[in-house]
Structure 1
Amino acid sequence: MARVDKFKVVVFDFSGEEAIGQAFADEVFRVFRRQHPEMEIISLNTNKDVAQMISRAQSLFDSLEENR
Structure 2
Amino acid sequence: MIKNYWDALTKPEQNALAKKVGSSSGYLRLVFNGYKKAGFALAQRLEEETAGVVTKSQLRPDIYGDVKPEIAAP
User: TM tier, shorter chain?
Assistant: under 0.3
Richer in helix (by share): 2
Richer in strand (by share): 1
TM-score normalised to the size of structure 2?
Answer: 0.25
Larger C-alpha radius of gyration, 1 or 2? 2
TM-score normalised to the size of structure 1?
Answer: 0.26
